């Protein structure tokens, strides 16, 4: 084993969360300005240690929340490399807040797998990477679609259909996406289980919402192809209405979403699993400062600006 490193990014789901678990498409973006890195170094005395520093959203260093899943992933990686007794020190450093819908657990898994493959000087395919990440994601969420790891490991915005399709997709030429943190933790498993329970109890009420999200995502792909940011904004609003009806929004998310719309955003919605976590707002560049100010005044813990890559 050599010293190995791996990186990954925060992910933002533009449209399609939750429905993606049930086979509908989703569009998600890696946020390269919010990254996570893993560094593994051999330890000669057999000790196996993990140190992590996670940004929590209120600028305190946080802890790795998905430790059991990551520990299991590392054990399996070591068996794969025939190195179960190998000592190592793994350091994970993250600018992603955990439990805020930014894919912190998937980003951790992706960077850790990349670091171990690098340490054992083994080429890693994207398919193998996503299969590995699924181990810790399953341990944490139960029924992950795979979207989070697919986006955390990507360099470009992704069109994703569970088990079927993964490809880059063009973003609008203009506009900016604002990401605002409610400061409230949202656990993916809780939200995904809630939706599953509702679909089981009242399929006639909830299944059409899943279908409508899928339709909105397909129309969003069309809006992106036509570079129609106004239509894209309207589709984000429609998606948010469906997600709220599914029960995964929250008063804090609703407040920030309404503030963004009231201050001129084309559209706004929760992002990720919801209940807590972050919202996104699609806005014109010149409108962004006003919206950012309004989001902060409405108690957003942090606001990030994501500028679309045009190439």
Kindly identify the residues of this chain, within the stretch 140-179, that bind ligand MEV according to CB under 6 A: 141, 144-145, 147-148
Q: Check binding of 213 to ligand MEV (CB under 6 A).
A: no
Nearer to ligand MEV, 47 or 200 (CB): 200
Q: Check binding of 273 to ligand MEV (CB under 6 A).
A: yes
Residue 192 C-beta: closest distance to ligand MEV, Å = 5
Q: Check binding of 214 to ligand MEV (CB under 6 A).
A: no
Residue 195 C-beta: closest distance to ligand MEV, Å = 8
Task: From 109-117, 177-185, 186-194, 203-211, give the range in contact with ligand MEV by CB under 6 A.
Answer: 186-194
Residue 76 C-beta: closest distance to ligand MEV, Å = 20
The CA distance from 27 to 160, in Å, is: 6
Q: Check binding of 18 to ligand MEV (CB under 6 A).
A: yes
Q: Check binding of 17 to ligand MEV (CB under 6 A).
A: yes
Contact residues for ligand MEV, defined by CB under 6 A = 17-18, 20-21, 101, 103, 141, 144-145, 147-148, 188, 191-192, 272-273
């Amino acid at each position: 084993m050599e010293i190995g490193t791996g990186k990954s990014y925060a992910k933002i789901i533009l449209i399609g969360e939750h429905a993606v678990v049930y086979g509908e498409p989703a569009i998600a973006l890696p946020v390269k300005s919010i990254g996570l890195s893993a560094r593994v170094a051999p330890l000669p005395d057999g000790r196996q240690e993990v140190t992590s520093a996670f940004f929590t959203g209120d600028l305190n260093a946080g802890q790795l929340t998905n430790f059991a899943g990551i520990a299991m992933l590392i054990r399996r990686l070591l068996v794969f490399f025939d190195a179960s007794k190998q000592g190592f020190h793994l350091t994970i450093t993250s600018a992603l807040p955990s439990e805020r819908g930014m894919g912190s657990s998937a980003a951790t898994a992706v960077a850790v797998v990349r670091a171990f493959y690098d340490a054992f000087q083994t080429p890693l395919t994207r398919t193998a990477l996503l299969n590995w990440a699924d181990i810790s994601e399953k341990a944490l969420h139960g029924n992950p679609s795979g979207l989070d790891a697919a986006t955390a490991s990507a360099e470009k915005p992704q069109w994703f259909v569970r088990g079927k399709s993964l490809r880059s997709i063009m973003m609008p030429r203009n506009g900016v996406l604002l990401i605002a943190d409610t400061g409230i933790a949202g656990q993916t498993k809780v939200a995904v289980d809630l939706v599953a329970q509702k679909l089981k109890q009242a399929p006639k009420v909830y299944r059409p919402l899943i279908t409508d999200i899928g339709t909105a995502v397909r129309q969003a792909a069309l809006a992106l192809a036509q570079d129609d940011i106004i239509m894209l904004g309207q589709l984000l609003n429609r998606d948010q209405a469906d997600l709220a009806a599914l029960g995964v929004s929250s008063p804090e998310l609703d407040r920030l979403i309404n503030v963004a719309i009231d201050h001129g955003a084309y559209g706004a919605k929760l992002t990720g699993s919801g209940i807590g976590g972050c919202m996104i707002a699609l806005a014109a560049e010149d409108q962004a400062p006003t919206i950012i100010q309004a989001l902060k005044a409405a108690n957003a813990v942090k606001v990030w600006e994501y500028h679309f890559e045009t190439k």
